[in-house]
């Protein structure tokens, strides 16, 4: 697999967005982005408007934690075949369809409940939506990785992020508009119907072919044979245990056998720290705007409207840049941009709360975030063995946010102790490990070739 694309012209790089599979990611991204706010921010607002107390709303928000544990059932999406649907649609599309049906049923059920008299029932339906949505994410990620080679993953990630943001926009501003004109029950019914876009897309796309190397199967057979060699378990249990080993244990064994122990640990460390800087900063961005005395109108215009457009542009630009310059180079550039934009926030902390500086800083931050997001998704996709696509990518994406969110939890203490200027400098310094590790991985990649990546036939 070649991830260097220096011979590709800008026109050729841009033309990737004409491909059907790349365009399909726009609609799949929409389907993935729609449910999140409907079980989180939008739902919390509706519950509060119905008089539910803040403590209860806080507890209900834990429904969204299911997204952070999707790696737990990802092996089932990788290996378990769904009766009937599996034969009709294939492994990836059948799970996608089942998950989308689950989201639709959950949203329509929420639309037919009342928060004050049926709160417990509503929470169960919200759990159904969150679980189904997280399962949809697993299957969409697996389809995306298997549908095209790595040099096109940047474009796939770009259109996915565009669709995802549009879905979130509909679930946020769109749902509020509908609820303001009618009722929240009607708003959730409309959101459920909007999920049909994902269903139609799933029916139209083709099931990707899995090009799995013989070495992968031989390695898996050796692992299973070694761990079940004593024959202590009876036949049926031994088969179940062998399936468990193949679906859960072998994805992790595969990653370490494709790399030396040192290289594997360096790659995992890099994944863990890449988003450390922007997540730590993002936790305090809202309080920062409030403490700087920016008005709600300024924040809504600069961040939620103009900033969203810039993020989408950055995501799509990132796809072109990955095609043009390759994944490894763009990782270095992305890590630098993310750290530098945190320093720009330190400058903003010295300014008066005026619109132009706010737009400038948010634009820089969202542009770098869009480019970095696309580049990093493309990188993680290249690390994933297509024999274990869903499981390995779910693991990488969970690792990507765990430590940054853990560190981000201390952001408030840093601000209280040292102030915003020093905090933003601190957040920028959190990006230094990602910069250094991206340079090291680029060097090792050039020296050894395709470090950590899976060869695609």
The pLDDT tens digits of the residues spanning 140-188 come to 999 998 898 877 887 888 899 889 988 988 887 788 888 888 999 999 9
Does 95 fall in a domain? yes
Asked whether residue 142 falls in the same domain as residue 219, the answer is no
Q: For residues 335 and 438, is the Cβ–Cβ distance under 8 A?
A: yes
Give the CB-side neighbour count of residue 306, counting CA atoms within 13 A: 17
Distance CA 445, CA 329 (A): 11
* pLDDT bracket for residue 82 (50, 70, 90): very high
The answer to whether residues 133 and 101 belong to one domain is yes
220 plus 331 within the same structural domain: no
Looking at the fold, whether 231 and 264 belong to one and the same domain comes out as no
Cα→Cα distances 366→15, 183, 227, 314, 380, Å: 24, 33, 48, 7, 21
Could you report the per-residue pLDDT of 251-289, keeping only the tens digit for each? Answer: 777 888 778 888 889 999 999 999 889 878 876 776 787
Same domain, 42 and 191: yes
411-418 and 276-283 helices, crossing angle to 10°:
70
Q: What is the pLDDT of residues 400-422, one digit of tens each?
A: 877 887 787 677 788 888 998 99
Q: Is there a single domain that holds both residue 237 and residue 272?
A: no
Provide the pLDDT for residue 192: 97
How do residues 86-110 score in pLDDT, each as one tens digit? 999 999 999 999 999 999 999 999 9
Full residue range of the structural domain in which residue 293 is found: 258-448
- Give the DSSP per-residue string, 296-345: HHHHIIIIIIIHHHHHHHHHHHHHHHHHHH-HHHHHHHHHHHHHHHHHHH
Tell me, yes or no, whether 57 and 139 share the same domain.
yes
The overall average pLDDT reported for the chain is: 84
Residue 353 φ then ψ, to 5°: -75, 75
Q: Distance of CA 21 to CAs 47, 66, 101, Å?
A: 39, 28, 22
Same domain, 126 and 62: yes
Q: Does residue 222 share a domain with residue 156?
A: no
Q: Is 252 among the domain residues?
A: no
User: Are 269 and 242 in the same domain?
Assistant: no
Residue 128 belongs to some domain of the structure:
yes
Which of the pair, 321 or 14, is modelled with greater confidence? Answer: 321
CA distances from 171 to 160, 221, 289 (A): 16, 46, 24
| Residue 453: inside a domain | no
**Per-residue pLDDT reduced to its tens digit, 210-219:** 665 555 556 5
Same domain, 150 and 171: yes
Collapsed DSSP state (helix, strand, coil) of residue 40: coil
118 assigned to some structural domain: yes
* Cα–Cα nearest to 390, from 28, 34, 70, 36: 70
Contact between residue 298 and residue 358 where contact means Cβ atoms under 8 Å apart: yes
In a domain, 153, yes or no: yes
In a domain, 3, yes or no: no
Is 165 a domain residue?
yes
Q: Which CATH number covers residue 153?
A: 1.20.1250.20
Count of the separate structural domains present in the chain: 3
Tokens 């492994």 appear where? 91
Predicted pLDDT of residue 2: 42
**126 lies in the same domain as 146:** yes
* Cβ–Cβ < 8 Å for 208, 95: no
């Amino acid at each position: 697999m070649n991830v260097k694309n220096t011979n590709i012209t800008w026109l050729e790089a841009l033309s990737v967005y004409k491909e059907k599979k790349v365009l399909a990611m726009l609609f799949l991204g929409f389907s993935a982005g729609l449910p999140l706010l409907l079980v989180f921010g939008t739902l919390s607002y509706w519950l509060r408007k119905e008089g539910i107390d803040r403590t209860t709303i806080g507890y209900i928000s834990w429904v969204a934690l299911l997204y952070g544990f999707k790696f737990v059932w990802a092996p089932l999406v990788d290996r378990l075949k769904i009766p009937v649907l599996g034969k009709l649609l294939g492994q990836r599309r059948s799970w996608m369809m089942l998950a989308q049906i689950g989201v639709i049923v959950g949203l329509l059920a929420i639309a037919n409940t009342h928060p004050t008299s049926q709160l417990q029932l509503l929470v169960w339906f919200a759990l159904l939506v969150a679980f189904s949505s997280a399962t949809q994410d697993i299957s969409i990620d697996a389809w995306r990785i298997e549908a095209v080679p790595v040099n096109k993953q940047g474009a796939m990630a770009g259109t996915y992020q565009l669709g995802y943001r549009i879905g979130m926009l509909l679930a946020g501003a769109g749902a509020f508009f509908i609820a303001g004109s009618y009722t929240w029950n009607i708003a959730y019914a409309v959101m459920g119907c909007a999920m049909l876009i994902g269903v139609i897309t799933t029916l139209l796309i083709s099931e990707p072919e899995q090009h799995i190397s013989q070495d992968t199967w031989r390695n898996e057979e050796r692992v299973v044979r070694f761990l079940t060699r004593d024959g202590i378990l009876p036949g049926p249990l031994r088969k179940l245990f062998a399936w468990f080993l193949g679906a859960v244990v072998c994805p992790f064994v595969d990653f370490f056998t494709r790399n030396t122990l040192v290289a594997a640990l360096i790659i995992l460390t890099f994944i863990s720290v890449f988003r450390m800087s922007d997540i730590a900063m993002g936790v305090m961005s809202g309080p920062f705007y409030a403490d700087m005395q920016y008005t709600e109108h300024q924040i809504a215009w600069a961040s939620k409207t103009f900033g969203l457009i810039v993020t989408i542009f950055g995501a799509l630009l990132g796809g072109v840049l990955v095609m043009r310059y390759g994944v490894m180079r763009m990782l270095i550039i992305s890590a630098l941009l993310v750290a530098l934009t945190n320093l720009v926030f330190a400058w903003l902390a010295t300014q008066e709360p005026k619109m132009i500086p706010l737009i400038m800083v948010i634009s820089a931050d969202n542009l770098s975030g869009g480019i970095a997001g696309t580049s990093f998704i493309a990188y993680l996709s290249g690390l994933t063995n297509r024999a274990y696509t869903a499981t390995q990518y779910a693991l990488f994406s969970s690792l990507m946010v765990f430590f940054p969110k853990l560190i981000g939890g201390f952001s408030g203490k840093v601000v209280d102790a040292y102030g915003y200027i020093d905090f933003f400098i601190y957040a920028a310094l959190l990006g230094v490990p990602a910069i250094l590790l991206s340079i090291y991985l680029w060097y090792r990649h050039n020296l050894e070739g395709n470090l950590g990546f899976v060869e695609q036939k």
